Amino acid sequence: MRYENRQAPEGINVTPVHPFKQFAQLLFAAALLVIILVVLLQFFGGWIGKRVPFQYEQALMEQVDISLGSESPPPEMVSYLNGLAQQLSAVMPLPKQMSVNVHYSKEDVFNAFATLGGNLLFYRGLLEQMPNENALAMVMAHEIAHILHRDPMVGLGGGVVSMVSLSMITGQAGFAGSILDKTGFVTGTQFTRHMENEADQAALAALARQYGHVNGADALFEVMRQHTGENKTPDWLERFAATHPLSEDRLDAVSRRAAESGWSLEGDLTPLPARFHDWLKQ
């Protein structure tokens, strides 16, 4: 007697689903989940972050004990930067319980940032490019505005918390995780760009109060645009995925905001201290 295996029907071991349809549904659902999560955490984390007293923020910075800037910065530079910060803080105005402390780094980095506890760090690479005090004051006032708006704390509460929570999802997604991470990052940039715009607005107002005009602010964004240079990324994509608004847009915003608020775009520019470039060489 001969036996024979029957031919098994096809498809019995496979879930009948169109791969592309399933992929599209899953990607849409996962991206939506990430966006909702990041938006919620940015809102609530930021909301909580803003309500943490500034003293706690300072105490936190003291505890972690991170030294900002170079070890032995030129004292004249540090005192000049802090002096400018004091003047701008007075016109912002920064509440009494809040204070800023400016640090200087000799590194050739085109950047300046505000961090927890009212600490600002200015790099030599940026200061070298400053054409006058007004442009420098624009950067300084922008960073002080971040402190005033409690952005470093909001960034910690909203940004960091949402990214950590996001990694719990994306860690599960293996291969697809990197794409979801980027979705979360781009969602987060919508919030950071909002912060940057608000800081620009407050900085221009401070500039107008300090110097009586906003001349020099445009020079800063012009320098920044030249520094960034031309790149091949299309504008719409760059606008959508960048943490900061484009220098081009910020430049346009200067004249728009000046017109809206009645600030003069003309006025005498204040030169940088005579020995400013010598301090940079130290």
Partner 1 sequence: MFEIISFVVLLGCGYLFGRRAEKKHINDIIEREKTFNSLPVIASRYPPENQYYQQQLVAGNVVVASDYFKSFTAGLINIFGGAVAPFEPLLDRGRREAVLRMKEEASKLNADLIFNIKLETTRIATGRTGAIEVLAYGTALIPGSKPAPSTAEAPRAM
Residues within the interface to partner 1 (CB under 8 A): 2-7, 10, 13-15, 17, 19-20, 22-23, 26-27, 29-30, 33, 169, 172-177, 179, 182, 232-234, 237
Q: Which is nearer to partner 1, 26 or 90 (CB)?
A: 26
Q: Which is nearer to partner 1, 185 or 276 (CB)?
A: 185
Q: How far is the CB of 227 from partner 1 (least distance, A)?
A: 20
Q: Which is nearer to partner 1, 52 or 173 (CB)?
A: 173
Number of Cβ within a 10 Å radius of residue 264: 12
Q: Which is nearer to partner 1, 23 or 47 (CB)?
A: 23
Q: How far is the CB of 165 from partner 1 (least distance, A)?
A: 13
Q: How far is the CB of 22 from partner 1 (least distance, A)?
A: 6
Maximal C-alpha separation, the chain: 109
Q: Which is nearer to partner 1, 37 or 52 (CB)?
A: 37
Q: How far is the CB of 234 from partner 1 (least distance, A)?
A: 7
Q: Specify the amino acid at residue 59.
A: A
Q: Which is nearer to partner 1, 4 or 71 (CB)?
A: 4
Q: How far is the CB of 191 from partner 1 (least distance, A)?
A: 22
Q: How far is the CB of 45 from partner 1 (least distance, A)?
A: 22
